[in-house]
Structure 1
Amino acid sequence: MTCIHARAAASRLIGAAITLGLGAGAAHAADLVVAAYGGIWEQAFRQCYVSEFEKKTGKKVEVVLGTPTQWANQIAASSGKPPIDVVVNTIDGAYDAMKRGIVDKFDASKLPHLAEIDPKFTDIAKGYGSIVNYGGMGLAYNTKTVKNPPATWKDFVEGVKKGTYRAAIPHISYVSTQLTTLWMLNNLYGGTVDNIQPGLDVIKAMKDSGNLVFWKDPNEFLNLIKSGEIDIGMYWDGRAWSFADDGNPEISYYNPKPGSVINPTLVQKAKGSLDLAWDFIDIVLSPGPQACFGNIIQYGMSNTKVIYSPKVAPRITKMDEIVWPPFEAVPSRLGDWVERWNKQIGG
């Protein structure tokens, strides 16, 4: 067994709990191990990135599924011989990996397409990765019941309190709520990262009106709006458009002013991983594969040369519609925010 094949086999033993649907033959044939998310994300990832890499290099990729915490722990425990070469990470997962020193700094000389990435999407990783794609948390609504959707977030809040419509927002237990919902509303109503009370007050007022419910899973929101239990609510742009395309043409989406908080996905190279990882990362950063991925997922992509299909292009959350939260300042405060939400707002 070659060194590369041994690493691939070991990666599956270490990560057996997170690897889904991969037989022994796949591991023994793998030249590179990449961690990614499941579902339609995995399907698009394989179609747009993995297939392009394998076609271009003749090498085989093993895709392992799981969570950023699982991947980080595996890399950290590997004594400089990581079982994973490339990680597709959340923003908090990326910062955790940087803090723990388990990812390599990007080498621009090995990533020709890095120069095509909007600087805002690379600066955020401080040289240790790059945003690949992002989803915006705006408003999805039923066009049959909401004839005049609120133009601003404050209009949305007032509409909920007055009973103009029934609405839903993500619960604090959902992975991105602290930033996309609580921080966003708190910032809008004059709060800071050290004073989250204005945001809590706004959410509590909407809840107390009796016109607001919380969703804890993305599919729960779709069930709520499909059944007519709600008319409008905070949701992801790409997911909303995919739902509309899937036989629900009455559903639409937009970003109220002053804009929507994004939840970015980053790509990083595990510290000490194979040099072949640079080739894979460069493909992930290149315009063709990114366009393929963006047109399937309907999320914004980071390469400035990406060309979306005529249907998808107007649906993408634009740069001037993005609200950038203080990603790095928030993680240390999340425990306090969750505790205060649970005490003041509950479920």
Structure 2
Amino acid sequence: MKTIKRFVSTVTPALLLVSPLAAHAGDLVVAAFGGLWEQSFRQCVIKPYEQQTGKHVDVVLGTPAQWLNQIGANPSKPPIDVIATPADNAIDATKRGLVMKLDAGHVPRIKEIPARFVDPVDGYGAVFDYGAMGALYNRKTVPNPPTDWKSFVQGTIAGKWHASMPSINYFGGGISTLWMYSSLYGGNLQNIQPALDQIKQMVASGHLDMWTDPNQVLNALKSGDVDIAMYWDGRAWAFINGGNKEFNYYTPSPGATISMTFLQKVKGGSDLAWDFINLAMSPGPQACFAAATRYGVTNQNVVYPADIKPQITQIDKLIFPPFKDFPQYQSSWVDQWNKQVGR
């Protein structure tokens, strides 16, 4: 952890479980993603925090937009203290003044987080973990997988395989995928037509499916309806390691677009959030989380175990979209997509 008709670009790929926010008895309330993300976060971050402090943490599930609206509705006494949220919502929370800056006085571990994982929100939060959009493929039906994304496009058009990629309506990465192809084919933020032209050719070939739900991709791969798909690294490795060794995952050149999960301290929330975020940004809990999910983490001192490291997308293979710039173009991009691609 997903289909919406507005732009939300970069949720870390975990299932979001919607649950109404109710009164909580915990000392600290953390809003987080559901599924494996929540389970791993509980084990690797919340459990050691509770053991070290004696405080109790309540976790609320839902959607980032829901959390921000609830915080904004009661800013003097917000119902949430810490939010785990994707880049676009983190940027929105910062612009709306709902969160506080993470300075080294309150969060000493922030000094161990590279600037690229702090700058997108001007220090009003930091990235805890990230996913990357690479390629998951069937070894038997795709014996020679494309080495780069242009070859992925060309091979799909030529019918070398049946492919799948995220629709713009997939809010876990549809927009950033469109931007990536636009950049690859000579476009820019103002001109995504080069990307649309390539996508239309893939669709017209009859060899491309669009997905809005990550689970449908795995089902299509298992059934043989799809041979190769643009997909998230952590989810892909969980699928492969779960008994599907006939598949493999890799990062085509020039890299994989990143999806980041920020941790932010809610303004007006409990000051216990400072120590909680500091612990979350430390090497031990982050290494634990990476081992459980196969998602990359951000503390520069984390050492991945030898058996885990090959399944983590390294920073030099990541493509960082201009998330701050996306909102002003979202309506135009969606309109162009709907008129020309329509899926």
TM-score, normalised to structure 2, is 0.92
Kept in 1: contact 2:102–2:110 (CA 8 A): no
* Aligned twin of 2:340: 344
Distance in 2 (alpha carbons) for counterparts of 1:216 and 1:102: 30
Q: Does 1:259 align with 2:265?
A: no
Q: Does 1:167 align with 2:163?
A: yes
* Aligned twin of 2:117: 121
Aligned pairs for 1:199-218 within 5 A: 199-218=195-214
* Aligned twin of 1:283: 279
Q: Deviations over 1:81-128 (max 9, x none)?
A: 111000001100001101101101112112121111122111222110
Kept in 1: contact 2:110–2:278 (CA 8 A): yes
Kept in 1: contact 2:75–2:267 (CA 8 A): no
Larger radius of gyration: 1
Q: Report the residue type matching 1:341 in the other structure.
A: W
| Unaligned runs of at least 5 residues, structure 1 | 1-16
* Aligned twin of 1:112: 108
Kept in 2: contact 1:178–1:337 (CA 8 A): no
The one of 242, 245, 248 equivalent to 2:241 is: 245
The one of 306, 310, 313 equivalent to 1:317 is: 313
* Aligned twin of 1:78: 74
What is the RMSD of the two structures over their aligned residues, measured on CA atoms?
1.4
The number of residue pairs the alignment matches comes to 326
Distance in 2 (alpha carbons) for counterparts of 1:212 and 1:247: 26
Distance in 2 (alpha carbons) for counterparts of 1:235 and 1:262: 11
Q: Say if 1:102 and 1:243 are closer, same or farther in 2 by CA, change over 3 A.
A: same
The share of aligned pairs that are identical, in percent, is 52
Per the alignment, in what secondary structure is the counterpart of residue 92 of structure 2? helix
TM-score, normalised to structure 1, is 0.91
* Aligned twin of 1:18: 19
The one of 291, 295, 304 equivalent to 1:308 is: 304
Distance in 2 (alpha carbons) for counterparts of 1:240 and 1:273: 36
Q: Deviations over 1:307-336 (max 9, x none)?
A: 222222011111110111111001121122
Q: Report the residue type matching 1:300 in the other structure.
A: G
Q: Report the residue type matching 1:110 in the other structure.
A: H
* Aligned twin of 1:13: none
Kept in 1: contact 2:135–2:251 (CA 8 A): yes
| Unaligned runs of at least 5 residues, structure 2 | 1-17
Q: How far is the alpha carbon of 1:176 from its aligned partner?
A: 3.1
Q: Report the residue type matching 2:303 in the other structure.
A: I
Q: Does 1:62 align with 2:58?
A: yes
* Aligned twin of 1:8: none
